[in-house]
């Protein structure tokens, strides 16, 4: 076993966009498992937009990462030493061991994965937290029905790609919004969305109107910002809006946006159109996990849901990959291959 290990810690809290100096790569000794503990070797690290929130102080639904603390993150890891009766050397587990090559665990929160059922990386993507976010946000809030129109942005990404495909399975029309022609082509031609609009091209509001001639019944909110502003006038009476993420604003929370106060117009739209807007965090719907795994695994087997991974190599690539994720440099579920995948 190699005695060298590495981790990436939060060096400074970013003001606005994170930068390289907000992270620090450190060497460390491979930790030695104590009684009841396992030693994990990270294979896959998931990078997710919520990590931007963990870098800042201030009220949120989770505690921030402390300065000099290891950056938080979901991982798939191999048990390489075990003093815990529930785990054996060679087990592959889903963990939350963060941006580091090795970690100790007492076994709580670890879930064994069966590499024969699906590639282990999918436990961080389509069969993991992002897939579950899409499934539960639609199941509990969006509730798309046959003949309705659903719109979702970040449509080539981990959550958005699943949202549109699940809506199509329910018989709804799915309109994606994504950054650039190549992502839009993929969303329409490979994922089977009915339409996809490039939010970087001009006149999004006009193109959205054209793409949704019967208005919008479900808007799965992943991004906020200009996309949300284009969507609001197109929402139908009784439209549902699962508020999942606001990535367009993650680098600017904390101050009031400049310009006129649009809150009264928004409240009027909510009242007059009897809209349902509901924020959610995926763990609110943990009770649906078994149903999610059953349905999503079936849809994957049947080819009804497709997915795409975007992999960078080595732990040191994580900061840049994460900064890219916030700006749309990723094309699919952002993963870091931290160590060799033995499966």
Does position 121 bind ligand NDP by CB under 6 A? no
The rounded Cα 179 to chain-centroid distance in angstroms is 16
Burial of 238 (0-12, 13-18, 19+ CB in 10 A): exposed
Contact between 179 and ligand NDP by CB under 6 A: the answer reads yes
**# of chain residues touching ligand NDP (CB under 6 A):** 32
Q: Which of 84, 95, 133, 312 binds ligand NDP (CB under 6 A)?
A: 133
Among the listed ranges 102-110, 139-147, 154-162, 258-266, the one in contact with ligand NDP (CB under 6 A) is 154-162
Q: Per rule CB under 6 A, is residue 319 in the interface with ligand NDP?
A: no
Q: Which SS3 state, helix, strand or coil, does residue 104 take?
A: strand
Query: Considering the rule CB under 6 A, would residue 154 count as an interface residue with ligand NDP?
Result: yes
Two tokens at 50? Answer: 């919520």
Distance CA 162, CA 132 (A): 9
When asked if residue 204 is in the footprint of ligand NDP (CB under 6 A), the reply is no
Binding residue (CB under 6 A) for ligand NDP from 209, 225, 308, 316? 225
- Strand pairing class (195-198; 276-279): unpaired
Residue whose C-alpha is closest to residue 144's, from 193, 185, 198: 193
Q: Give whichever of 154 and 338 is closer to ligand NDP, judged by the CB atom.
A: 154
277 forms beta bridges with: 241
Pick 63 or 68: Cβ nearer ligand NDP: 63
> CB under 8 Å to 330, separation ≥6 — which residues?
157, 310, 321, 324
In the beta sheet, which residues pair with residue 124? none
CB of 291 to ligand NDP, least distance (A): 17
Residues that bind ligand NDP (CB under 6 A): 48-50, 130, 133, 153-154, 156-160, 178-179, 183, 199, 222-223, 225, 227, 244-245, 247-248, 280-282, 325, 328, 330, 333-334
């Amino acid at each position: 076993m190699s005695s060298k290990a590495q981790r990436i810690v939060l060096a400074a809290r970013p003001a606005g966009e994170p930068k390289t100096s907000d992270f620090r790569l450190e060497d460390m000794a491979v930790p030695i498992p104590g009684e009841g503990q396992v030693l994990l070797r990270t294979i896959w690290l998931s990078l997710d937009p919520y990590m931007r929130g963990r870098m800042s102080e201030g009220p949120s639904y989770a505690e921030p990462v402390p300065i000099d603390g290891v950056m938080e993150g979901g991982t798939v890891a191999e048990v390489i030493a075990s003093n815990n009766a529930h785990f054996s050397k060679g087990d592959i587990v889903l963990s939350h061991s963060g941006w580091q090559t090795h970690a100790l665990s007492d076994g709580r929160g670890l879930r064994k994965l069966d590499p024969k059922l699906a590639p282990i990386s999918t436990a961080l993507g389509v069969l993991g937290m992002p897939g579950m976010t899409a499934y539960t946000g639609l199941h509990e809030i969006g509730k798309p029905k046959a003949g309705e129109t659903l719109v979702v942005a970040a449509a080539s990404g981990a959550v958005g790609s699943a949202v549109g495909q699940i809506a199509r399975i329910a018989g709804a029309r799915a309109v994606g919004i994504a950054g650039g022609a190549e992502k839009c082509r993929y969303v329409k031609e490979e994922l089977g969305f009915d339409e996809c609009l490039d939010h970087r091209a001009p006149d999004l509001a006009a193109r959205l109107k054209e793409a949704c001639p019967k208005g919008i019944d479900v808007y799965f909110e992943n991004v906020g910002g200009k996309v949300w502003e284009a969507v609001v006038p197109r929402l139908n009476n009784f439209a549902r809006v699962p508020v999942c993420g606001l990535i367009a604003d993650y680098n600017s929370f904390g101050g009031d946006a400049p310009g006129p106060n649009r809150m009264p117009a928004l409240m009027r739209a909510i009242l007059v159109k009897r809209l349902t807007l509901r924020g959610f965090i995926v763990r609110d719907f943990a009770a649906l996990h078994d149903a999610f795994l059953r349905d999503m695994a079936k849809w994957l087997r049947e080819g009804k849901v497709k997915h795409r991974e975007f992999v960078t190599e080595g732990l040191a690539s994580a900061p840049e990959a994460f900064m890219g994720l916030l700006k749309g440099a990723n094309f699919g579920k952002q993963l870091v291959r931290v160590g060799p995948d033995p499966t």
